[in-house]
Chain A
Amino acid sequence: MKARHRRFAWIAAGLVAIGVAVGLVLNAFQSNLVFFYSPSQVLSKEAPVGRPFRIGGMVESGSLQREKDSLTVRFVVTDTAQNVTVRYTGLLPDLFKEGKGVVAQGSLGPDGVFTATEVLAKHDENYMPPEAAAAIEQAHKGGQMKSSK
């Protein structure tokens, strides 16, 4: 074995050792690396208790309500399995929309309503012109009508 081969083997072994160590660390901190919890996780008490956390999911269609003469809004965050009602006072981001992704920071009250201090919109990885989006929606609606018949 030449000296440079031995050095190469040491480098490879070192990289593997570091990779394993980092993998174990990431595994141990798995729960802390999560940016938000889904409504199902929140309702099964996986979310931290007693300190603020973030909840993420889709804004359920038709759930957005504005209180009169104030900036307070209520909407339902869903992961299609479970729902959590969120209450927020402030300006919503431009991309906030029913049926789209949302991440809200705040804490869960005893009444099961999540009081948010910050609401962020989460968009998906699809990029398409408005005409294509309209066509997809049209096709989607057509499919739903067919299946409901």
Chain B
Amino acid sequence: MATNWYHYASPVTFYPLAGRLAPWFAAIAALLAAAGLWIGFGLAPTDATQGEAYRIIYIHVPTAWMAMFVYLVMAFWSALALAFNTRLSAMMAQALAPTGALMAALALWTGAFWGRPTWGTYWAWDARMTSTLILLFLYLGVIALRSAIDDPRRADRACAVLTLVGAVNVPIIYFSVRWWNTLHQGASVSLTAAPKMASLMLSGMLVMSFAAWAWCIAAALWRVRAIILERERGSAWVATLPGMGRSAGVPGQGPKGLRSPPPSRCATRVSD
């Protein structure tokens, strides 16, 4: 039986689905991270050139990959939000921004601690590092732009345009080590060439990457639930949710959901 995907394009139906999926992705992330760290720090051999210092690769590469990938996913949802004017797409883009910013910050931070013992410097203004720093600023810029605009629908459109414009940075990051002379080394793993890593090192890095992927999905789903509640707090279906029922069910006051939302930007708290 074919699933009607449009069924889940509405916040009303996506909210419970996200709630059911998020714990599974979190569990997958925890299991894969445990396995990946065990492979990376327990089984994988020492590197011939860098000694033990290379092991930060098990955090650095997965976070750097996710920083780029989350941005592309965010750009995808932004394009959908602009083209189809769908609320949930914009909410998904909004939910991904802090996760992507965290990944970019972790990639830069672990990169600095890797660069110091190997290259001899925490930071260099080479093309790979500078474009990754721009990626972090793009994430922070999208988050800042959203909180600067009070009307959520206008904020959706402005953030979507900024996200799409910034998307040109992702191929620049990826190909920077090929296009220009950089201090950063070239790609060890690519779709077109055999991996330039020992197989145990590679498997540890890939397992950690899938862990980071699952964690990003779980974090985005949990955050999008909070965003849905906050932005749909004026609607009737939110008032019927188990955690919301107490205040809505008080006789004489009428359902809370029928009132227009308060103008203040207070976050809606949920207990489940």
Which A residues are within 8 Å of any B CB, using their own CB? 4, 7-8, 11, 14-15, 18-19, 22, 26, 30, 33-38, 56, 92-96, 100, 103, 118-134
B57 touches A127 (CB 8 A): yes
Contacts of A103 in B (CB 8 A): 183
Report B164-198 CB contacts with A as 1/0, cut-off 8 Å: 11011000100000011111011110000000111
Which of chain A's residues have a CB closer than 8 A to the CB of B117? 94
- 0/1 interface trace, chain B 196-209, chain A, CB 8 Å (1 if under): 11100100000000
Contacting B164 at CB < 8 Å: which of A11, A92, A127? A11
Name the residue of chain B whose CB is nearest to the CB of A97.
B49
CB contacts (< 8 Å) of B165 on chain A: these are 18
Q: By the criterion CB–CB under 8 Å, are A123 and B180 in contact?
A: no
Residues in A whose Cβ lies below 8 Å from that of B50 = 95, 123, 127
Q: Which of A19, A120, A132 contacts B48 (CB 8 A)?
A: A132
B162 to A: closest C-beta gap in Å:
11
Stretch among B8-16, B120-128, B141-149, B219-227 lining the A interface: B120-128
Per the CB 8 Å criterion, the residue count for chain B at the interface is 40
- Identify the B interface with A (CB < 8 A): 45-50, 54, 57, 79, 82-85, 117-121, 124-127, 164-165, 167-168, 172, 179-183, 185-188, 196-198, 201
Residues of B close to A30: CB separation below 8 A: 180
Q: Please judge, given known A-B contacts A95-B118, A128-B198, whether A133 and B49 are in contact too, CB under 8 Å.
A: yes
Number of inter-chain CB pairs below 8 Å? 119
**Beta-carbon contact of A93 and B120 below 8 Å:** yes
Flag if A122 contacts B183 (CB, 8 Å). Answer: yes
Q: Which of B48, B57, B126, B168 contacts A129 (CB under 8 A)?
A: B48
Given A123-B49, A125-B186, are A4 and B83 also a contact pair (CB < 8 Å)?
yes
| Shortest distance between the CB of A48 and any CB in chain B (Å) | 14
Across the interface, which residues of B come within 8 angstroms of A130, CB to CB?
45-48
Measured in the bound complex, the distance between the Cα atoms of B182 and A38 in whole Å is: 12
- A34 and B197 contacting across the interface, CB-CB below 8 Å: no
Q: A95-B50, A127-B197 are in contact. Are A7 and B83 (CB under 8 A)?
A: yes
List 12 additional contacts besides A119-B120, A123-B185; criterion CB under 8 Å: A4-B85, A14-B164, A36-B183, A93-B120, A94-B118, A121-B118, A122-B183, A123-B119, A125-B188, A127-B188, A128-B45, A134-B48
Nearest to B121 among chain A residues (CB) is: A120
Instruction: Evaluate contact between A120 and B83: CB separation under 8 angstroms.
Output: no
Shortest Cβ distance from A6 into chain B, in angstroms?
A: 9
CB-defined contacts of B79 to chain A, threshold 8 Å: 8, 11
> Considering only CB atoms, which chain B residue lies closest to A37 in the complex?
B181
Do the beta carbons of B119 and A121 come within 8 Å of each other? yes
The residue of chain A having its C-beta at the shortest distance from the C-beta of B84 within the complex is A4
Cβ distance A92 to chain B, nearest Cβ, rounded Å: 8
Are B57's CB and A123's CB within 8 A?
Answer: no
Asked if A11 contacts B183 (CB within 8 A), the reply is no
**What A residues does B125 contact at CB under 8 A?**
35
Contact B198 A129 (CB under 8 A): yes
The distance from the CB of B199 to the nearest CB of chain A, in whole angstroms, is 10
Residues of A near B183 (CB, < 8 A) are 35-36, 103, 120, 122
Inter-chain contact B181/A125, CB cutoff 8 Å = no
Cα-based distance from A119 to B120 in the complex (angstroms): 8
Which residues in B have their C-beta under 8 angstroms from that of A93?
Answer: 118-120
Q: How far is the CA of A22 from the CA of B166 in the complex (A)?
A: 11
Cross-chain pairs A/B with CB under 8 angstroms, 11 sampled: A4-B84, A11-B164, A33-B180, A38-B181, A93-B118, A95-B119, A120-B120, A123-B185, A125-B187, A126-B188, A130-B46
Ranked nearest first, the 4 interchain pairs of A and B with the lowest CB-CB distance are A93-B120, A133-B48, A129-B45, A35-B126
